[in-house]
Structure formats: C-alpha cells, structure tokens
Structure 1
Amino acid sequence: MTIQYINHADQLPALCEQISQEPWIALDTEFLREKIYYPKFCLLQIAAPGWVACVDPLSITDLGPLFTAIYNPSITKVLHSCRQDLEIFYQLTGRIPEPIFDTQIAAPLLGFQENPGYAMLVSSFLNINLNKAHTRTDWSARPLSDDQIQYAADDVIYLCKIYTMMCEQLDKLGRLNWLDNDFALLNDPELYQLSPENAWLRIRGKNKLTGRQLSILQSLSEWRERTAQSENKPRNWLFPDDMLLELAKLQPVTLADLAKIRNINERSANRYGKVLCELIASARQTPPKPLKEKERPIKKTHQHEAIIDVLSAVVRIRAEENSLNPVILATRNELEQLLFGEEDCPLLHGWRYNMAGRELQGLLQGQYTLSLTPDTVVIRPAVD
C-alpha cells in the first residue's frame, strides 16, 4: 500500500475528501513528552481500508481543515489505548473527536486480558510480530526516513484489520453495542484537562494524611503543576509524588529543615526551597479541601469480606457463562465499591451492569436470594 506523506498544506484538501468518504478511520499519533510537560505532536497516522496517510504537523501550521474532517460525528474514530492521543486532540482543539472505538477496551469482550498491548493484538489477530526498531525514535527530528514512515503507517494499517475482525466477532456474540457506555466516558473533558487545583487528586497515599498534612500536599501539588506547566517540564522533574508526600508529613518551614530531608533533589531544593517553605508555612494554617467519602479508607469487617466473597462467586459464574475472564467483569476492588454504594462503580454502568451488576445490586438490596446445590449456585427473585 502506498503511503501518502502529507507535509504541505495544499495536500490537505484531497486527504480531507478521502476521510469524508469513510464510515470509520483508524488513527494514531507519534509524540514526545519525556522531557517536557505538554506532549509535542510530531506525526498523525490515518488509515481506512485501501489507503493510509502520515501527516506532518511540524510542517503544516494550520491543521484546522483536517481536524474538521476527522471530527465529523458520522465517522467512527478507531484507536488503541486512546487516552494520550485524545489528550493531544483536546489540547489542540479544545474538543474531543467522537464517536470513538478503542480496541484496547473492546478486546476483553473477546477473551483477552484487561488492557492488552497493541503488539499482543497484532500477534493474536494477524499473526504478525511488530517491528520494534523505531520504538525509541525521536519523532521530532526531520527528515523522517522511509523506514520510520513505514513503521508509523503500519500501526494504523494493522489497526484497520484488527477493527474489522473485532467487529465481526463482537457482532456474532451480540456484544457490538455493549461498549457504547465505555466509549462515551472517553468524551469527558475532565479526563484531559490539566487543572493545577485538582493535581493533588492524582497522588496515591493522600487519604492517609492528617488534615494539616493534606492541606500542605494540596498546596504543593498545585504549585508543582503550575510550575511544570509554565516551565514546560515533567512534574516529576521538579519533585516526584513520594517527595511531596514526605514534605507534607515532615513540614519543613526553613531551608535548614528542608536540607535535612533524605533523597530530596538538591538542585530543585536550592532553586525552589524558599517558595516551598513559604507554601508549607501558609498551608499549615489553612483547612484542607475535603476528601470525598470514597477516598477515605473504609475499615472492612469480616462480614464485609464474606459478602464480597459471595459476590465474587456470582461474578465467576456469569463470566464463565459468557466466556470472559472474571477480572474483566469485576475486580474485588470493584465489588467493594458496589458494596459501599459508590455510584461510579463500573458494575453499575454499561454491559457490566446488564451482565452482572443489576443482579449483584439486587442481592445486596434483598431483591434476590441465593441458594446452593452440589453443582451450582442458584439466584432467584426474593419472595415476600
């Protein structure tokens, strides 16, 4: 298949016309972000059955017409593990293309493990081992070699084939529409907004802090995010999460206190030490933003653990009936979320709700009863 390499604006109209004729297109991006905060968009690959194109965003200053064509809501956008790709689209346009089909999300409904890698799907569906020669390519360097362009194009060429095969198999199983809710969740702008005020929510371990410590973590996290954005540096280059937690616990308010902390980046401490101490001193006097209830640790009793065991048994049965890995249907943590009434539990949405969530919720609410025989578990509507 001839690869269209699009690096001049006058080539875009013909490509946009090609896109407009398709019911779906496969998309992938190449970008760099190892040394910067914002991803640098270096290449866009687009394919449909019969054609493939690689667009050079470093050579074309106005991609508006291309985005208009891609964002056409009558065209399904097929990607694999699409979050970072969609982040780039959102940062460039302020919108998210829809509808989306993510092959990584769809694969478990065909018996794959959760979050399978792209190479695994290519090997399983097409019996092809991906070439890894350009895995660490600097995609911002120009000119790109023919091998690099072919490597990039192969991703969407294979993605087209995988998508077609996936749809056929999902349709045979009656599962083609099961993922509509999962894909719709990808359109939430909050997934891609980089809000400094909420940066602390991403830090694991925050729920173990006291009120004053949490206030410090919130202040330091917001500062780190704003600084990383303004300097266009990875946030962990300033201070990693575990160091912010350590600072929140130890609460240094002088440079001498700061210097005593083990493993602190000396260069960052010298550069930002004064502002860190000022932030910590101020945050010690400020009430923290409250944790949501679901972020507070819940002490489970033996009875809670036993209930989750029962729910797990039902999950295993329903998963086996549908030829799924039970972990894909519900993890133990998700069953715990269901037990404690968390509204965003995956079992309360989409295909998982239809397959098991409704039934499990009914058991917890006394609408169903569970009985045993030597061979099976029987679930029946409760009788008043």
Structure 2
Amino acid sequence: MADFPPDAWITTTRELKALAEDLRGAGRFAFDTEFISEETFEPILCLIQVATPNRLAVIDPLRVPDLGPMWNVLHDPAVEVVMHASGEDLRICRLQSGRVPPRIVDVQIAAGLAGFGYPLSLSNLVYQALGISVRGGETRTDWRRRPLSPNQLRYALDDVRYLLELADLLNARLKELGRLDWAESEYRDLVRAIEVRDDELRWRRLPGIHQLNRQGLEIARRLAEWRRNEAKRTNRPLRQFLRDDLLLAIAKRQPTSRHDLEALRDFRRSPVSGQVAKVLAIVAEALAVPPEALPEPTERYEEGPGLTMTVNLLSAALNHCCSRQGIAYALVGTSSDLKDLIRWHTQGRPGDRKPALVGGWRGEVCGQVLLDVLAGRLALRIVDPEADPPIALNPVRDQEEPTEAA
C-alpha cells in the first residue's frame, strides 16, 4: 500500500492528539470528510482526511472516542484550513462541534476567480492546474464499512493530497490578478452563511412556499416543525418522513377531514399516512391562530415574459463581463441574483439594501455594466457568434456611431 503511509491511519485518542499538534504546528492543513447522509437525520461522519506539507492522515471517527482535539485545531484562528467545495464539510463541522473553522481557503472558489472555471471537480481541477490525473471509482463507497480497501484509503487521501499545492498555485495567481481579497471575502461569506443558518426557518425556503396564504404558511411552519422533531426522534431524513411537495400540498389544500387529506396525491403512500389524526390536528391548530399572529406572507414577484427577457439580456451582459475578465460566470451570479437586481432597479434603487451583483467584488466585476444596461446607457451588439465573448457592449449615443465600451 505504497500510497498509504504506515502512520496515516488514526484510531486512538493518543494518536489524534499527536496529529492535532502536528497540524497546529504546521499552521495550515488540508481537510476533507467522508460521510453517509442518505439514511439518517444527521450525516454519519465516517472519515476525516488531513494533510500538511509533511504528512497525510486519515482519522477514523467510528473508532476514536473523542474528536475534540481535531475540532479544537480546526477552530484555531491561527490555523488555515484548505478545502475543496467546502460547504458540506463546514456543515459537518457545525453539526459535530457546534462551530465552523474561522479561517478557510476553498480551492474551488479560488479556481473560479482565477479563470479555471466553476464549479470544477477536484480531479478536474488537479488535472487542469497541476497536470496530474487522479484516479476515482470510490464515490459510491459505504464509508462505514471496515476494513477499508487500499483503493478506498488511497481515494480518501487523494481528496487532500494535492490541496495545499493547489492553494499555493491559485493564491499566487489571484495575487497576480489582484483578486486575493475577493477570494478571502467569499470564504468569509461562506463561513458566515453556515454559522448563521437557522434550520428551524428552513420551511421559509421550501420550493413553492410563496404560493401559500398566511394560514397556509402557518400550517407549513407547524408541519415542518413536527417533521423535524419526528425525523430526529426516529433518526431518518426529513424528506423520507414527509416530502417537501406533500407538505406544501397539505398547507395549500388545508384539509379538515380524513377524506380531504387522503385525496391528496401520494398521501396514502407516504410514511405519515398512518398519522391522519395528527396531521389534521396540526392543520386545525394552525387555522385557529388569530390573523395578527400568522406569519407574514413570503415576498412574491410575478415572473412574466418581460422579466424573463430582461434576465436573459442581463445574463448575456454578465457573461460578457465574466468572459473578458476570466472569471467563472457561475461563481459571480445566478438568475435569482439578476432578478433581485432588476427588482431593486425598478423599485428606485432603495439605499437600505444593495443586491449582491452591485456590491463587493461582484460589483467590481459587473455592477456598473449591468446598471448601465438596465438604464439604457449600454446596448448589446452581436460581434461574432463564434467568438468568446460573442457580443460587445456599446454606449447608447443619439445620432452617433456606437463604439466599443471599455
């Protein structure tokens, strides 16, 4: 097992404490996790992989009784933690320890800002940036099983083996481009989003929630709370207990009888089909709430053809900005961000808030261009459908021949 060093497999608290001191002494380390999330309320942490310039290691959380030394070094603000696509790993840290690492580098984000594309898989990024082919083939592994095969252990270590080298290369590139502070801002925003995420308000983000009236929102809130408590009590995934679409259907239909409830599509096949009385009681309690105590309606905007066309126009302008500056479009903004910008503009650009696309580093990339397009000061012109970018943005001048905008 040449790819797996003899001291890499950490299975005792003593070994973990020694490793944690090595990580702290290095001042920075690569970090990744393997977990199973399909069968339980919270993910089962199965492996923790780390790397310093001098050491590779895999921690077995199923055997190490106390992971405290690992969490302590992760939360040390003097230590930099390098990851790839860090969102899920940060959530695991929060679930396991109550906190997230305060100082991170995410090479996937760095790559998007450095012109490598976004979101790139780790193997793709390693190949593009370092010219190294990383073998895969273990993505469907049940990481709870022991012993793990040499291929599985090698795969696990490959997830951290090249991260520090990637971070060094990408940081140098970002520094050269003057974008290192952009990346650091994005890392801070990512950490903050994980820290403040309130799972109890998750129901507000359910697809289609804007279709509900205030009574429907109260039903959805109560059903979501019940679902969360029951899923946690029985240790199964939220959606396995009650699917989002069925929860929304109940909140929208507001059934008051067994007949009404069982008339809903798929209800009889759902895990809650045996709890008709409980579901009806939740609906009845929600309907009894006085109007002044009901949730405020979810902000809703009509999305007619005019908005769709405007989004498409701005999307082309945004793509143009990103292409000219060598930044991944998908990292800069989404259609939701463009819609938010359009609404802000049509509402008179209120000063109490700023859309993401005109603030921070995104504002530097595209903010003024998008505002000029919205205000009619810039027009799009197709230059060459085969070129990148295929369009030009020209200032609108009365009776003058358009020229290329800077």
Q: TM-score range by the shorter chain?
A: 0.7 to 0.9
Shift, 1:236, TM fit:
0.9
Q: Which runs of structure 2 are paired with 1:7-46 in the superposition (5 Å)?
A: 7-46=11-50
What's 1:382 paired with? none
Q: Counterparts of 2:329 and 2:190 in 1: how far apart (Å)?
A: 23
Give the stretch that moved more between structures: 126-135 or 25-34. Answer: 126-135
Instruction: Tell me, yes or no, if structure 1 residue 54 matches structure 2 residue 79.
Output: no
Q: Residue type matched to 1:60 in 2?
A: V
Query: Which of 341, 345, 361 does residue 355 from structure 2 map onto?
Result: 345
Contact 1:180 1:350 in 2 (8 A): no
How far apart, in 1, do the equivalents of 2:146 and 2:308 lie?
57
Q: Secondary structure at the match of 2:47?
A: strand
Match of 1:290 in 2: 296
- The corresponding residue for 2:168 is 164
Q: 2:105 aligns with which of 101, 104, 124?
A: 101
- Report the count of equivalent residues: 375
> Which residue, 359, 371, 378 being the options, matches 2:396?
371
Q: What one-letter code is carried by the residue in structure 2 that aligns with 1:207?
A: H
The answer (yes or no) to whether the contact 2:23–2:29 under 8 Å persists in 1 is yes
Distance across 2 between alignment mates of 1:142 and 1:256:
49
Alpha-carbon distance between aligned partners in 1 of 2:144 and 2:244, rounded to the nearest angstrom = 29
CA distance in 1 between counterparts of 2:223 and 2:274 reads 15
In 2, distance between residues paired with 1:30 and 1:186?
20
Matched, 1:319 2:322: yes
Q: State the Cα RMSD in Å.
A: 3.0
Q: Give how far 1:33 is off.
A: 1.3
Q: How far 1:216 moved relative to its partner?
A: 1.9
- Whether the aligned pair in 1 keeps the contact of 2:31 and 2:83 (CA below 8 Å) is yes
Q: Following superposition of structure 1 onto structure 2, how do residues 109-148 of structure 1 map, counting pairs within 5 Å?
A: 109-148=113-152
Contiguous gaps of at least 5 residues in structure 2? 345-349, 379-393
Counterpart-to-counterpart distance in 2, 1:217 and 1:154: 43
CA distance, structure 2, for counterparts of residue 99 and residue 378 of structure 1: 39
Shift of 1:136: 1.6
The offset of 1:334, in angstroms, is 1.8
**Is the alpha carbon distance of 1:305 and 1:253 closer, same or farther for their aligned partners in structure 2, counting shifts above 3 Å?**
closer
Does 128-137 or 368-377 show the bigger shift?
368-377
Residues 278-312 of structure 1, C-alpha deviations (whole Å, 9 max, x = no match):
1112222334411353xx1245684x677667655
TM-score (structure 2 length as normaliser): 0.82
**Mapped pair 1:85 → 2:56:** no
What CA distance in whole angstroms lies between the structure 2 residues aligned with 1:74 and 1:273?
54
Q: How many Å separate the matches in 1 of 2:311 and 2:330?
A: 14
Is residue 87–residue 192 contact of structure 1 (8 Å, CA) maintained in 2? no
Query: Contact between 2:242 and 2:272, CA under 8 Å: does it hold in 1?
Result: no
Name the counterpart of 2:382. none
Query: Cα offset for 1:73?
Result: 1.1
The TM-score with structure 1 as length reference comes to: 0.86
Matched, 1:180 2:184: yes
What do residues 165-193 of structure 1 show as CA deviations (whole Å, max 9, x unaligned)? Answer: 22222222222221222111122265575
How far the C-alpha of 1:139 sits from its partner, in A, is: 1.3
Q: SS state of the match for residue 73, structure 1?
A: coil
Pairing 1:75–2:79 present: yes
Alpha-carbon deviation of 1:246? 1.6
Q: Secondary structure at the match of 1:21?
A: helix
Instruction: Please list the CA deviations of residues 54-93 of structure 1 after superposition, one character each: whole Å capped at 9, or x if unmatched.
Output: 1111111122222222222122111111111111111222
Is contact 1:239-1:265 (8 Å) kept?
no
> How many Å separate the matches in 1 of 2:222 and 2:338?
33
